[in-house]
Structure formats: structure tokens, C-alpha cells
Amino acid sequence: MHAFDVLGDPVRRRILELLALGEQTSGEVSAVIRSEFGISQPAVSQHLRVLRESGFASVRAEGTRRLYAVQAEPLREVDAWLDRFRGFWEQRLDALETELARGRRERRPREETSGDD
């Protein structure tokens, strides 16, 4: 499965957000996802399996518990792919920063003169 197919699902993205906070049990992940998305525990398990099989998450056994964690490599690959497009939004963000700075400079003299009343 392609990385964007994996990340295209909002449930899997949310699971990765949870795992980015640190290693979590399948039960912990399942409780949050079930409450936020209203899906069954087997459906959450299926999403965890997709994340594991696609390399985005790893699992390790600790007694009877299964602990899941984010794996960075697939995310690095996504980041590398996005890198070729970063210039499109960085230019716009730079322009926005310039406009915000200009607005702050223009507002400053008005604030100074209005305080002299």
C-alpha cells in the first residue's frame, strides 16, 4: 500500500498522532479511536494492522499487552516526496510574513500617536 493510501484515512492519521505521543497499548488506542470515530474495536485493530504492515507502526508484546509505536522511516519517505513541493508554500508563507511585518510597522506609529491624547 502506498504511503498516501495509508495516510489518506483519517482514522489512521489519528492513530499516528496518538502514537507520536509515545508508545501505547492497543487498548489505549482503541478507546480513543472508538470514542472519536464511533467504530468497533475490530475496526481499530484492522487500522493498526494496516499501519504495522505498511511500516508506519511497530508492535511489541509485553506480557499479554501489545504496545504500538510510530516508525519514522515511512514518514521520512513522505517528507522527502513532499520536499519537492515545499517551495510552493514556503514562498507564500514568506510573503505572508512580510505582509504581517508591514502591518505591524504601519500600526505602530498610529498606536504611538493615539496614546498621546
pLDDT (0 to 100) of residue 106? 82
Is it the case that residue 6 has pLDDT exceeding 60? yes
Q: How far apart are CA 69 and CA 116, in angstroms?
A: 59
Average pLDDT score over residue span 49-68:
96
In terms of Cβ atoms closer than 10 Å to its own Cβ (0-12, 13-18, 19+), residue 68 is buried
Q: How far apart are CA 116 and CA 109, in angstroms?
A: 11
Q: What is the pLDDT of residues 69-117, one digit of tens each?
A: 999 999 998 888 888 887 777 777 777 788 888 888 887 766 666 665 5
Q: What is the pLDDT of residues 28-55, one digit of tens each?
A: 999 999 999 999 999 999 999 999 999 9
The three three-digit cell numbers of residue 28, written as one number: 489505549
Is it the case that residue 22 has pLDDT exceeding 70? yes
Whole-number CA gyration radius for the chain: 22
pLDDT (0 to 100) of residue 102? 85
